[in-house]
Structure 1
C-alpha cells in the first residue's frame, strides 16, 4: 500500500514538473540535441532531426527542403565544423510548436569562429521535437 502511494506521489510530481516545462526549456533541449548531432558529423542523424517537409536556409544561398534536403545540405558542408549554441529566446506558438531564435558560434577546423544568428521552428512529431524551419545567417559586424 505504501509503495503504491509513493509511486502515485512520484507520478504526480513528474506531471507537475512536465507541466512547468515551458517553451524555453523545450527549445533549450531541442537546440542542445541539434548541437550534439551537428557536432557528431553524421548527415543521416542530422537529417533525422528535421520534418519530412522542413525548410532549411543555412550558410548557402540554396533553400533545402525535407529530410533529404537537410541531409544534402549537411553533406555539402566542409568536414570538422563544430557549433556551440549561445543565448536564445523561445515562444510557444501552440502546444506542439516552439519558435526559437538566438546565437550560435560555428568553429572551422582552422579555429576561425563564425558567429551566426540561428532561428529554428520546432514541431512535436510522435513525441519528439523536430525542426520544421531553419534559418541561419552570419552575425552582422
Structure 2
C-alpha cells in the first residue's frame, strides 16, 4: 500500500480468509438478532449490507471473483442452516426446509440486492481505480516470488 492509498482502496486479504470472515460475521449477526428478538429483523439486513461492502474492501485483487459470487451464496447457505436449527426465525415453524430458505431469501431480498450491488460496485470501482499498471506490477511481484 502506497502513501496515497487508503485502507478502503487496497485490500490485501486472501479470498479464503474473507469468506471465513463473511460466514463468521453473518452467523454472529444471526445469533444476536435471534437471541434478542427471536427472528431476523432489520438489524440483520443492515449488518449484511455493511458486511458485503467490507468484504469487497478487504479482499485482494486476484480473489475478486470469489467475493463477487459470495453474497447470494452466503445468504442462501446461512438461511439453509437457520432452516435446519431455528426455522421459525425466518419462516413458519411448519414450513419445509426448502420453503423456509426461499421464504428467508425472499423476505430479506432487498438487503441481498443492496448488499450485492454495493459489493459489485465497490469491486468495479477498485478495478477501475487500480488500473492496468497496478495489475502488471502485482503480476510481476507474484511471478518474482514464485521463482
- Above 0.5 in TM-score? no
- Kindly indicate whether structure 1 or structure 2 has the higher relative contact order, using CA contacts under 8 Å at least 6 residues apart: 2
Identify the structure with the greater helix proportion. Answer: 2
> What's the TM-score, normalizing by structure 2?
0.29
